[in-house]
């Protein structure tokens, strides 16, 4: 039973901020099952007619720089928030 409650709080925390966080909120991106980005403050989805959909983000490793990830039908991506749960 404790595991179920902890799991539900973890899911709720990641989605709505349950618990307290000691770091700034960020997002991660998985593409085709592989973690390709972690720690960005935001991700914008841009449709470029020449290149197709792109994910644009402020690069967490290079302040002041912007990075991009190409999305293709063979490279589907998932964007989700991250956070730390304490309590």
Q: Hey, what are 69's tokens?
A: 């990830």
- CB-count exposure of residue 71 (10 Å: 0-12, 13-18, 19+): buried
Q: Per the structure block, which two tokens stand in for 4?
A: 């179920």
Number of neighbours of residue 80 by Cβ within 10 angstroms: 11
Q: What is the pLDDT of residue 23?
A: 58
Helix or strand run (H / E) with residue 82: strand 77-82
pLDDT score of 24: 67
Quote the pLDDT of residue 25.
76
Q: Are strands 52-58 and 34-40 parallel, antiparallel or unpaired?
A: unpaired
Residue 5 has a pLDDT of 38
Using DSSP's 3-state secondary structure scheme, residue 40 falls into: strand
- What's the pLDDT at 58? 95
| Regions in the chain scoring below 70 on pLDDT | 1-24, 82-87
């Amino acid at each position: 039973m404790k595991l179920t409650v902890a799991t539900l709080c973890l899911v709720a925390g990641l989605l709505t901020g349950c618990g307290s966080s000691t770091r700034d909120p960020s997002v991660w991106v998985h593409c085709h099952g592989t973690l390709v980005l972690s720690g960005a403050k935001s991700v914008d989805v841009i449709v470029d007619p020449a290149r197709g959909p792109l994910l644009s983000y402020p690069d967490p490793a290079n302040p002041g720089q912007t990075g991009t990830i190409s999305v293709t039908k063979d490279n589907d991506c998932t964007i989700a928030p991250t956070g730390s749960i304490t309590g």
